Amino acid sequence: MGLERPLPETNGLADTFWKAAGEETLLIQKCRTCQHHQHYARPLCLRCESSDLEMVPASGTGVVASYTVIHRSPYTDITTPYVLALIRLEEGVTMLSHIVETDPSSITCDMRVAVKFAPLRDGVKLPVFVPASEV
Ligand SMILES: [Zn+2]
């Protein structure tokens, strides 16, 4: 019997993000004072230090900023190889995630990707990314 990947912390500021992800909506934080987007959610805006923040739906599209291919997993519920990537969303925030449903050798930096939601367990869904269809 191996180890399953841990589920995300769903308390505090992360709670709204994970509840929305469970309903297949990607939320990021936006400052009402200066309109700056940030991810992950924090108590203060990174640009202007305002605490007047809200969670808003993200575009769900972006580009691969960087990535690596993992060939050994400590968790039994993650099939290898898998891709861990930094995704830069249209809103300018960077999100650590997986790229799925594609051959890892086909992935390149600046490749366009779109979000989808992978069910884990206990109703938790993980935002992951797939190559975006050509526009
Ligand atoms: Zn701000």
Q: What is the pLDDT of residues 23-70, one digit of tens each?
A: 999 999 999 999 999 999 999 999 999 999 999 999 999 999 999 999
- Delimit the domains of the chain by residue range: 14-131
Q: What is the pLDDT of residues 79-96, one digit of tens each?
A: 899 999 999 999 999 999
Query: What pLDDT band is residue 1 in, cutting at 50, 70 and 90?
Result: low
pTM higher than the cut 0.75? yes
Question: Taking residues 6-18, what's their average pLDDT?
Answer: 88
Ligand 1 centroid to Cα of residue 43, in Å, is: 11
* CA–CA gap between residue 56 and residue 61 (Å, rounded): 14
- Contact residues for 59 (Cβ-Cβ < 8 A; gap 6+): 89, 90, 91
Ligand 1 centroid to Cα of residue 55, in Å, is: 13
Six token digits for residue 50: 């305002």
Task: Answer whether residue 133 shows pLDDT above 80.
Answer: no
Fold (CATH) for 14-131: OB fold (Dihydrolipoamide Acetyltransferase, E2P) (2.40.50)
Ligand 1 centroid to Cα of residue 49, in Å, is: 6
Question: Taking residues 72-78, what's their average pLDDT?
Answer: 88
- Partners of 57 in the β-ladder: 27
